[in-house]
Amino acid sequence: MNALPRLTTENVTLFDPLILAVDTSSKVTSLAIASGNKLLRSSGQLQDQKRSETLWSDVESLLSGFGKTISDVSLFGVCTGPGGFTGLRVGIAAVKGLSLATGKPIVGVTSLEASAVSAEASGLCCVMVNAYKGEVYSQLFALNGDDLPQSKNEAMVSSYQKALERVSDIKKLTLAGDAVETGNEIIQDFVASHQECEWVVKETRQELAVSIAKMAYLKNIRQAFDHPDTLRACYVRPSEAEIKLSLGLLGSKIKRSMRREQS
């Protein structure tokens, strides 16, 4: 068996790498291909349970539109969550495999970071991403033009109310992320009760993979890469299986499998 190529940045140009970005954190799978900071094409579509079967063909189709193949990609970007557990595993595993097979670098970007970039705002931005069951993932970022978003607190999962209360002392704030539309009524009621706040709501209007490609480009300039062996999903909250494991409700084989996955 031939050895896999050594992971290297030798063939990654500093300013115009061909970037492939993948997001499988939500019910929409999005892909983007960019040359440096120029977006070439993006796609987004609702997925069913066959996402793992169609992802590779979707990637091939996107690249072939420019006469490219996976070997032409210089840098991979992937969403690490938080989001749907199964979808995240599919996307991360696929991009890890591509990175290892080609020897090209990989950049992990959280869905919260990518949503902050999508806001195209400046100043403080509270991102809220749908966690379903009436909950949201939220995190506060400082945005400065085309620079990378800087986190100002830890990501958390909570009700809309608690997420808003955590930033209620900030007068000027942008609210962004896919959860701001579904929680619009709650947000507007909260803003109305805090009249001193100058808050702007921005809905996410582009595929998240586009923002992941932007962040991959910025991290490439800084040579801030992740390694496929150590890149991990950012779940924020434990999965149902992990909760059952902590309560002793899983069989011994499943326990061993989960512990191997976490190690």
**One-letter-per-residue 3-state SS of 179-207:** HHHHCHHHHHHHHHCCCCCEEEEECCCCC
Please tell me the predicted confidence (pLDDT) of residue 195.
78
User: Do 127 and 60 fall into the same domain?
Assistant: no
Concatenating the DSSP letter of every residue in 67-116 gives: T--GGG--EEEEE--SS-HHHHHHHHHHHHHHHHHHT--EEEE-HHHHHH
- Number of structural domains (the chain) is 2
The rounded average pLDDT for each run of 10 residues, N- to C-terminus, in the chain (263 residues) is 40 73 94 94 83 90 93 97 94 96 96 95 96 94 92 97 96 95 93 88 86 95 93 84 52 54 51
- If asked whether residues 92 and 116 sit together in one domain, one would say no
Tell me how far apart the alpha carbons of residues 235 and 256 are, in angstroms, rounded to a whole number: 20
Structure tokens at 39: 């977006």
**167 vs 169: CA distance, rounded Å:** 6
Task: Give the sign of the dihedral formed by CA 170, CA 174, CA 180, CA 183.
Answer: positive
Long-range contacts of 223-227 (CB under 8 A, 24+ apart): 223/9, 224/107, 225/9, 225/105, 225/106, 225/107, 226/105, 226/106, 226/107, 226/108, 227/7, 227/106
**Shared-domain flag, residues 190 and 233:** no
Single-letter code of the amino acid located at 84? G
pLDDT at 1: 35
Note the pLDDT of residue 106: 97
Residue whose tokens read 């061993």: 256
40 and 70 share one domain = yes
Q: Give pLDDT, residue 7.
A: 40
Q: Are residues 140 and 196 in the same domain?
A: yes
For position 49, what pLDDT does the model report? 67
CA 19 to chain centre: 15
DSSP tally for the chain: helices H, then strands E:
9, 11
Q: What is the pLDDT of residue 253?
A: 53
Interatomic CA distance for residues 29 and 43, integer angstroms: 8
Q: Is residue 261 part of a domain?
A: no
| 181, 227: one domain | no
* CA separation for the pair 202, 148 (Å, rounded): 18
Assigned token pair, 100:
């290892």
In-domain check, residue 255: no
219 alpha carbon, distance to own chain's centre: 14
Domain containing residue 180: 112-202
Same domain, 225 and 162: no
pTM (2 decimals)? Answer: 0.86
pLDDT at residue number 251: 56
H or E stretch covering 40? strand 38-46
Task: Give the pLDDT of residue 214.
Answer: 95
Let me know if residue 2 belongs to a domain. Answer: no
Q: What is the CATH number of the domain that holds 184?
A: 3.30.420.40
What local confidence, expressed as pLDDT, does residue 97 receive?
95
Which residue is associated with the tokens 């299986």?
A: 241
Structural domain contains residue 191 = yes
State the pLDDT at residue 261: 52
Same domain, 94 and 163: no
